[in-house]
Structure 1
Amino acid sequence: MPDRFPSPFEIATPEGAEGWQEMYVYSSMFSESRRDFEDSMFWFQDGVHWPNVLTPWDATFFEFAIASLSQYNTRHLQVPPANGIAFRILNGYGYLSPVPADESTIEERVANFTDRAGHYFMNWNDLYDNWMTKIRDLVGELESLEFNPLPEIEDADEVVKSGAGLGSGYALQDNYHRIVSLGLKLWNYHFEFLNLGYAAYLDFFMFCKTVFPDIPDQAIAKMVAGVEVDLFRPDDELKRLARKAVDSGVAGAFSAGDVEATCEVLKGSSEGQAWIASFEESAEPWFNFSTGSGFYHHDKIWIENLEVPFEFIRNYIEMVQSGEDLNRPVDAIRAERDRVVAEYTALLGSDEEKGEFEGKLGLARVVFPYVENHNFYVEHWSHSVIWRKMRQLGETLVKEGFWSDADDIFYLKRTEVEDALWDYYNSWATPEAPAGPSYWPPIIERRKGMCNALSKAKPSPALGVPPEVITEPFTVMLWGITSDSVSAWLGGGDAKEGELRGMAASPGIVEGLARVIFSADQISELQDGEILVAPLTAPSWAPIFGKIQATVTDTGGMMSHAAIVCREYGVPAVTGTGFATTNLSTGQRIRVDGTNGTVTVLD
């Protein structure tokens, strides 16, 4: 068995993707000038957030997200053991490598972190309320941005006689700069609380591991389960709308066919019109929900692809009509949570230990909702608005002949969009023919070919020399990367033939038929009682959890969104198997042991 992964400098470019480096910012590339550092690090491909090839503009959020995470660890909060995360793009895929803090700085960092994080923990509710205001204001600012074709002549009153001194050309440039700036601000806001949320849970986790040496990771996770979070609100709204359709007698409209036909039937009655009004109330903001991770412009968004929420509502209507309970098993989850807490509290020997246990658990529960809520407000709602606004800008340049499809804009780097806008603005101002209509189409077509070629090549799960033992807690808890998974990637490990091992993400043991899917477009293929096997799941897949028996994923740890959502819906899950979608096939009978983290092929 090899003891290392290939060097990033040994990875070949797939045929047809030659020159792919032109699509990304130079600083995101592996480079000879940093080779000593890059070859000394262990890099893993982040399939939890960026499982697919990044188009040039989509890489913006990859860069903004990781840089923002890093600055909070290193410059804002001074998280004691961890600096930031180095990131690179190789063959279109994102790779990460945590950078540890210098041991000589730990003592000083502990003092700084205690002071800064302590302020947030002591004032969590007020600061979180302020965060919500900031996010809603930011979304409102994004919504206000408009990207319309420049006028033949500026309005005399609004532009000239008003003394504004600025016109439509400036506004177009400025609005694009603002959308980029707001995107970076968004990701700064994202990590204002997230690292603290994980830190509080990690502090409780490590305390439990110290005082209860044999405690399973899953038992610790159970103690903070049973939360009410906004991330589940979109699914709750679907269920509400399904019940309303049944109660108001308009459920039959959902057998009329597609969305357009269903809406036509609904419009034919006052009850149906009331249902449509109720749907529209839910849609903003709750259906600004991506079918993927939220990081790709091509993932479907519910509010823009109504067939997605309508299909979920149709399924829920059938469940309501058959007498099934649509509610998450919150009471059972909380009862189990309280049982586990009582069990371990009884093992503590002193009042001091009990007080410390209760304090750390209490803090973890207070901050834990943010660990999930931010995902809706940032990756889904805010990103959905940004994708829409970028398409509006793309469509404006379609009308000017710069390219043929609004989505072509995502094949430009964010700085190249500035170049295209300048060309448009300058040619309008002069006036003269812009260079863009002949310049950009061949570049876009070449890059589409590159992305297609890159997507056909499976990325290496990791690069470089792995540590002997992976102990960095976030790497284990969020990404599900452990010493065992690294060994399995290298061709070793002690898993039995016909067995996969991963993270025991959500308890329970079930047997059933596997259904392997690779994207949200295949969700409709799932049949009642099957076991979902996927590279990863998205929070927006929650409506299918009432149909499936269990979930198995290639990526993700105990604190990944997939794991948390499965626990909150009471669905057994094994995450971070590495090879589930490769080694399992649709129709195979398998046993999923979410309590011990194993998947066994039965036939």
Structure 2
Amino acid sequence: MTIEQTMKSFPKPSEIEVPAGAEGWEQLYPYNLVFDNAPGGDEKFWFCDSQHWPTVFKPFETIGGEFAVKCLGQYNTRHLLIPPANGIEFKIHLGYLYMSPVPVPEEEIPARVPEFERRAGHYFQNWDSLLEAWHSKVRATIDEMEELDFEPLPDVVPFDDIVSGKAMDGSQTLMENYDRLIALLYRNWQYHFEFLNLGYLAYLDFFGFCKEAFPGIPDQAIAKMVQGVDMELFRPDDELKQLAVKAVELGLQSAFANPDDVEGTLGAVRDAGGEEWLAAYDAAQDPWFNFTVGNGFYGHDKYWLEHQEIPLGYIKDYIRRVDEGQDIMRPVEELTAEKERIVGEYRDLLQGEARQHFDAKRGLAATAYPYVENHNFYIEHWTMGVFWRKVRDLARVFVDAGFWADPADMLYLNRNEVRDAIFDLVTGWAVGAEATGPHYWPAEIERRRGIIDALATRRPQPALNTPPAQITEPFTMMLYGITTEQVQQWLAGDEAGDDDAITGMAASPGVVEGVARVITSADQLGEVEEGEILVATITAPSWGPIFGKIKATVTDIGGMMSHAAIVCREYGLPAVTGTGSASTTILTGQRIRVDGNAGRVEILEG
């Protein structure tokens, strides 16, 4: 029986009822993002990207999704000409982002192969020098973004401007800096994908070679052959661990009694003679505190730099664990030794040209692999952190002018409406009359807030419409875990097996039992207790500090190269990803068994 003959469907978007109170939600987003306006919206297969956008978009926040997925697509389609895959179409349905991979017509694939090999080959042959240039480009963009200022307009033009003949009133700076902020963010999102697709492709190439050369090889064994590297994304967490060790060495434990009181904690360290520790703490902040407990795509994400109670709280917990005699460092040496053992075992099975191919493909995957996670720090965390800080600076200018009550209210405008509001503000100021905004936006923001709140009462459908016979787009498979087989398992639901096990992707090996802790947002991380099993829609790379407390991870979405899978492998924790429904099926407090070797999760009791 073929897949086509057994095919089932997810709900059609037109059949899904709008939550009460969310009527008119389509008006909050740009016309090109609204699902009802999408060509073939009820026919194409769409999956919800709850990995990056797990909560409802406020209108301004769509910018992250738009820039990220557009730039992802351009590298598949226009830069690299990846033979079987163009980009990913994206739309918003009931406040959530849905994606649909765009295939390359089969007859066009052969013509793309030589050009792809030429372009990808240039990167792989010059990886180190091009990556060094990438770091310079990204850092320069961040520095330029940092220099942008959003200041209230003056009562009068300074007399010096009269004398110099400047002939401008200062409002142009507000307008130009806003447009510049958007342009700089867009620039770094284009840089984001310069190497990322290649990292996935290098791994996919090695993965395919291993599957052919070693029939029956576990997916985890292939992943382990490139693991155990010193990745920059783990550097913020490593800095906290080192600070905790130093605090214990200096006898400063008592100073961390109440890390929520940032000034009080740092003052207590100073009073205890901890100047050496404070110097190390200050040094760690640039750049490693440009890190969020979220994923950087939402205006409400909290960054360590601005909410230092967060890193101080993690340091307090690490201090406790060090005092208890725990080894808090990642088992890098063990992971590296395990990697070398597995590489040696499989390499010894090959001879001659096959062994040379193995060495070349594994070497390429190992070289490209770190970027798959490292880019997150520079773009999602650092770039987006600066961006949201500047957005709040601009929003405060509007607060002072009476347009809305709280800087976060500006997120209920889309970015083009913000440009209109700026002109409204500067026009009223320039002519000496009231601006319209204070009379329009407060009520409109409250109306929109009600719609967003209503949309947030319902979890999104994991997918829409009938899936294709085969899914080939590399990002979709390796990052999201949306494979042909996995989608069929989602559709089969309870019919997938003869027991009650939840199935997903075997993302990180090991088998453990423990008590489940279901988490749906970063704000709940403080609830996670020692020895629990984390169950989440998805984890963020910045959740590193809790991976030393938990036994395993289970997620609703995510593939072999998802952040959850990579982080768990690097911490030596079992993981099952891409289950589709674990966070809504499992309850906090239930005892579960996680089999990261087989991709199975069983509810044992509770």
User: What TM-score do you get using the length of structure 1 for normalisation?
Assistant: 0.96
CA distance in 1, matches of 2:203, 2:311: 33
1:477 alignment partner in structure 2: 478
Where 1:304 maps in the other structure, the secondary structure is: coil
Asked if 2 retains the 8 angstrom alpha-carbon contact of 1:291 and 1:520, the reply is: yes
| 1:5 corresponds to which of 10, 18, 24 | 10
1:236 alignment partner in structure 2: 238
Unmatched segments (≥5 aa) in structure 1: none
1:305 counterpart = 2:310: no
Asked if 1 retains the 8 angstrom alpha-carbon contact of 2:471 and 2:484, the reply is: yes
CA distance in 1, matches of 2:425, 2:202: 50
Give the drift of 1:2. 7.9
2:3 alignment partner in structure 1: none
Where 1:202 maps in the other structure, the secondary structure is: helix
Give the drift of 1:469. 4.2
**Letter of the 2:122 counterpart:** H
Q: How does 1:104-503 map to 2 (within 5 A)?
A: 104-157=107-160, 159-256=161-258, 258-259=260-261, 260-269=263-272, 271-348=273-350, 350-492=351-493, 493-503=495-505
Where 2:402 maps in the other structure, the secondary structure is: coil
CA distance in 2, matches of 1:240, 1:354: 41
Give the drift of 1:161. 3.6
**Letter of the 1:534 counterpart:** A
Where 2:102 maps in the other structure, the secondary structure is: strand
Give the drift of 1:256. 4.6
Asked if 2 retains the 8 angstrom alpha-carbon contact of 1:495 and 1:501, the reply is: no
User: CA offsets per residue over residues 473-531 of structure 1, 9 Å max, x none?
Assistant: 43222111234432343344423443111111111111111111222222122221111
Asked if 1 retains the 8 angstrom alpha-carbon contact of 2:103 and 2:472, the reply is: no
User: CA offsets per residue over residues 354-393 of structure 1, 9 Å max, x none?
Assistant: 1111011111111111111101110011101111110011
Where 1:552 maps in the other structure, the secondary structure is: strand
Query: Which has the higher mean CA deviation after the structures are superposed, 184-193 or 519-528?
Result: 519-528
User: Structure 1 30/256 Cα, relative in aligned 2: closer, same or farther at 3 Å?
Assistant: closer
Query: Which has the higher mean CA deviation after the structures are superposed, 440-449 or 159-168?
Result: 159-168
CA distance in 2, matches of 1:31, 1:588: 40
CA distance in 2, matches of 1:253, 1:74: 54
1:96 counterpart = 2:104: no
User: Structure 1 202/152 Cα, relative in aligned 2: closer, same or farther at 3 Å?
Assistant: same
CA distance in 2, matches of 1:165, 1:75: 44
| 2:515 corresponds to which of 513, 516, 519 | 513
User: What TM-score do you get using the length of structure 2 for normalisation?
Assistant: 0.96
Give the drift of 1:10. 2.3
Asked if 1 retains the 8 angstrom alpha-carbon contact of 2:86 and 2:473, the reply is: no
CA distance in 2, matches of 1:567, 1:554: 17
Asked if 1 retains the 8 angstrom alpha-carbon contact of 2:201 and 2:474, the reply is: no
2:547 alignment partner in structure 1: 545
**Letter of the 1:78 counterpart:** L
User: Structure 1 249/26 Cα, relative in aligned 2: closer, same or farther at 3 Å?
Assistant: same
Give the drift of 1:212. 1.8
Give the drift of 1:165. 4.4
Give the drift of 1:427. 1.3
User: Structure 1 235/111 Cα, relative in aligned 2: closer, same or farther at 3 Å?
Assistant: same
Give the drift of 1:181. 0.6
Give the drift of 1:471. 4.6
Give the drift of 1:41. 1.4
1:27 alignment partner in structure 2: 32
Query: Which has the higher mean CA deviation after the structures are superposed, 277-286 or 180-189?
Result: 277-286
Give the drift of 1:470. 3.7
| 2:571 corresponds to which of 569, 572, 577 | 569
User: CA offsets per residue over residues 504-562 of structure 1, 9 Å max, x none?
Assistant: 11111111111112222221222211111111111111111111111111111110011
Unmatched segments (≥5 aa) in structure 2: 1-5
**Letter of the 2:600 counterpart:** T
Where 1:145 maps in the other structure, the secondary structure is: coil
**Letter of the 2:26 counterpart:** Q
User: Structure 1 166/363 Cα, relative in aligned 2: closer, same or farther at 3 Å?
Assistant: farther
**Letter of the 1:398 counterpart:** V
Query: Which has the higher mean CA deviation after the structures are superposed, 588-597 or 225-234?
Result: 588-597
Asked if 1 retains the 8 angstrom alpha-carbon contact of 2:538 and 2:555, the reply is: yes
Asked if 1 retains the 8 angstrom alpha-carbon contact of 2:259 and 2:313, the reply is: no
**Letter of the 1:103 counterpart:** E
Where 2:35 maps in the other structure, the secondary structure is: coil
Percent pairwise identity:
54
User: Structure 1 115/484 Cα, relative in aligned 2: closer, same or farther at 3 Å?
Assistant: closer
1:58 alignment partner in structure 2: 61
Where 1:107 maps in the other structure, the secondary structure is: helix
User: CA offsets per residue over residues 332-362 of structure 1, 9 Å max, x none?
Assistant: 11111111111211222x3111111101111
CA distance in 2, matches of 1:468, 1:498: 27
CA distance in 2, matches of 1:482, 1:164: 60
Give the drift of 1:472. 4.0
CA distance in 2, matches of 1:106, 1:361: 25
User: Structure 1 561/450 Cα, relative in aligned 2: closer, same or farther at 3 Å?
Assistant: same
Asked if 1 retains the 8 angstrom alpha-carbon contact of 2:84 and 2:472, the reply is: no
Give the drift of 1:278. 2.1
Where 1:89 maps in the other structure, the secondary structure is: strand
Asked if 2 retains the 8 angstrom alpha-carbon contact of 1:516 and 1:584, the reply is: yes
Asked if 1 retains the 8 angstrom alpha-carbon contact of 2:508 and 2:573, the reply is: yes
User: Structure 1 412/575 Cα, relative in aligned 2: closer, same or farther at 3 Å?
Assistant: same
CA distance in 1, matches of 2:115, 2:547: 43
Asked if 2 retains the 8 angstrom alpha-carbon contact of 1:256 and 1:265, the reply is: no
Where 1:536 maps in the other structure, the secondary structure is: coil
Give the drift of 1:288. 1.4
Where 1:71 maps in the other structure, the secondary structure is: helix
Asked if 2 retains the 8 angstrom alpha-carbon contact of 1:88 and 1:96, the reply is: yes
Aligned residues: 598
Asked if 1 retains the 8 angstrom alpha-carbon contact of 2:480 and 2:558, the reply is: yes
